[in-house]
Structure 1
């Protein structure tokens, strides 16, 4: 199993950043790597329960990921399970994602994305690339 942790600092206050990582309309502004669209989704991460999204790249390839929101601690953290579906819509290996939001002591926010239980180092590298790309979008709207 492999894990990854990505940290960012935002000029926006913690309440605003927390809204961007939990409220569907705000989350959709940065969800998925750059160049992807998200035509199908159920992304309310404000409460426990199922979530899902389908990301589509420029070539029209579809990538479905689903899970359950398992812990919500507003405005500090949200944790969810994460599993990709294959071309037959069979759900694969399940990992966990945790978004942590805290004041940075200067009016902004320290944000941490922790993705644990990835199947191997290759999966961790791929997810690091995808999350880093998505976080670039978040940086543009939360700074």
Structure 2
């Protein structure tokens, strides 16, 4: 199994960053890598429960993932399970994603994304590319 950790700094306080990464109206603005759009979603990380999203790429290819929000600790953390679906909508290997937010010394926040339990290094590298692209969209939204 492989893990991935990405860290970003934001000028906003933890409460505001937590809202950006958990509330549906904000998630819709940054969820998914650059160049992909949301085809369908049930995105709400403010409470425990099921979530899902289907991304569509420029060629019309669909990429569905789903899971369960298992921890919500405002404004410090949210954690959820993650699994990709195949072309027959069968959910595959389950991993975990955790967003951690802590205050920094300047009144802003340190945001940490930890994706754990990935199948192997290749999967970690693919998720690193996807999350890095996705976080660029979050940085633009949050004014980082």
Aligned to 1:84: 84
2:102 paired with 1:102: yes
TM superposition score normalised by structure 1? 0.99
RMSD, matched Cα: 0.5
Residue 136 of structure 1 deviates from its aligned partner by: 0.3
Aligned to 1:69: 69
Residues 89-131 of structure 1: CA deviation (Å, up to 9, x unaligned): 0000000000001111101110000000000100000000000
Distance in 2 (alpha carbons) for counterparts of 1:95 and 1:59? 27
**What pairs with 1:9-88 in structure 2 (closer than 5 Å)?**
9-88=9-88
TM superposition score normalised by structure 2? 0.98
Residue 68 of structure 1 deviates from its aligned partner by: 0.0
Report the count of equivalent residues.
143
Residue 13 of structure 1 deviates from its aligned partner by: 1.5
Name the SS of the counterpart of 2:93 in structure 1: coil
